[in-house]
Amino acid sequence: MGNGHHEISYTVNGEIEKTREESLTVRAILANAGFTPPEDYVLSSENPPKDYSNEYDFVVHLHQNERFVAKYKAPTPTS
């Protein structure tokens, strides 16, 4: 079918990422931005605000200049 899609730029924690895919999984967005293993992080979008906690296979439809924030899931302290 060929990939005639234009390049989409988006940011994760202020770092610019680029793709020709119109949608990516939460796992792919995290991995492409260097957050590995993705399961150690939570991804959120800024506009509209959405938290993708434990939704690593959720498909995000990307928009030009979309902004995401990746946060490390701190391990639960044991006492």
Q: Where are the domains of the chain?
A: 8-61
Mean pLDDT over 55-70 rounds to 96
Digit-coded pLDDT (tens) for 10-41: 999 999 999 999 999 999 999 999 999 999 99
pLDDT band at 48 (very low <50, low <70, confident <90, very high): confident
**Distance between CA atoms of 79 and 71, rounded to whole angstroms?**
24
- Cα dist. 25→3, 29, 58, 75, 76 in Å? 18, 6, 5, 24, 26
Q: What is the pLDDT of residue 2?
A: 46
